[in-house]
Amino acid sequence: MHMPALREDLRGLWLLVIWDLNRMKSRTLFVVMRVSWFALQVSLFGLALSAMVRFRAIAGTNLDYYHFYLFGIYTSMLFSISVSKAYDIAEEFEEGTIEYLLSLPFPRRVLALGRSIGGGVASFLFTLPMFAFIVYLLGSYDPVALTVSMISALAFSIGVVGFVLTVVLSLKSSDSTDIAFGLLDAILVRLSTVFYPALVLSKIAPYYYAALVNPLSHMSDLLRTIFFFEEFKAIAVANPDLMAAYVFGLAVGLSTLAVLVVEKAVEGGGWK
């Protein structure tokens, strides 16, 4: 690719990321409400749950359910916020905003990649106060762990938004989008290790194998082992290197899929 063309693509990518970030500003009150509810959830319900749940006798190691719960609830929140981009994108199609974006001098691949990255960055920033509150509760300020976990969370969010973009373009209906992602959110969160370790789920084979391939399981267990490796290495769905490869592979694969679908779907108005 020639340098001027590459420079224009990068400029277009940057503008699309800014587009998504600017749209997040209009949701400031919503962000404050969700962060406040999250703080209440982890400081009240999380402590109550950890007082009722005991893993020690099951896993044979010194586990703290509160540590387990905090990273699980954060992962479910990051996933739900990323999935909520589906409703925004479906609304853009209904309002005709996509026609404005298509009229801009960006290649289709830049449009798809820019929306995936922009939506992922916006969703990650949305949940960043929640992540900071968890770090405060844990009192763990290891700079390496913080950096790796935030990069992993950002990659996860970009991958989910890429998937969202692909599905919305395939469904071409806001009603179908609402139903599909409502179900997907409910099912994937529950068929994962967000709230229960894989060791406990192994008693129910379908549940267990679903959790092993579930991206939420890999993301939540990756965060747990990044901060508390010795505590959670025995109950994670895989070793940290494999889980990190899964998360980053998910981001690259689903963003690439979004590029392919957008290039095909918008050709000749095929997205309508």
pLDDT in tens, the chain (272 residues): 567 677 888 888 888 888 888 877 777 777 788 888 888 888 888 888 787 776 655 556 677 888 899 999 999 999 999 998 888 887 887 777 877 877 778 788 888 899 899 999 999 999 999 999 999 988 888 999 999 999 999 999 999 999 998 888 888 777 888 888 888 888 999 899 999 888 888 888 888 999 999 999 999 999 999 999 988 888 899 999 999 999 999 999 999 999 888 887 665 555 55
CA distance linking residue 23 with residue 240, whole number of Å = 34
How many angstroms separate the CA atoms of 201 and 210, rounded?
Answer: 10
Report pLDDT digits (tens) over 42-69: 888 888 878 777 665 555 667 788 889 9
246 vs 86: CA distance, rounded Å: 23
Whole-number Å distance between alpha carbons of 111 and 89 = 13
Look up residue 1 and give its DSSP letter. Answer: -
CA distance 130 to 152: 15
Q: Residue 74: its pLDDT value, please?
A: 95
CA distances 182 to 38, 201, 233, 238, 265, Å, are: 20, 23, 32, 28, 23
Give this prediction's pTM.
0.89
Residue 272 has a pLDDT of 56
**Helix, strand, coil distribution of the chain in percent, nearest 5:** 85, 0, 15
CB atoms within 10 A of CB 88: 19
Confidence (pLDDT) at 193: 94
Q: Which two tokens stand for residue 129?
A: 């106060």
Say how far apart CA 90 and CA 68 lie, in whole Å. Answer: 34
Q: What is the pLDDT of residue 199?
A: 82
**Polymer length in residues for the chain:** 272
**Chain Cα centroid distance, residue 162:** 10
Check residue 61 and give its pLDDT. Answer: 67
What are the start-end ranges of the E strands in 196-246? none
For residue 269, the model assigns a pLDDT of 55
| Structure tokens, 96 | 């005709």
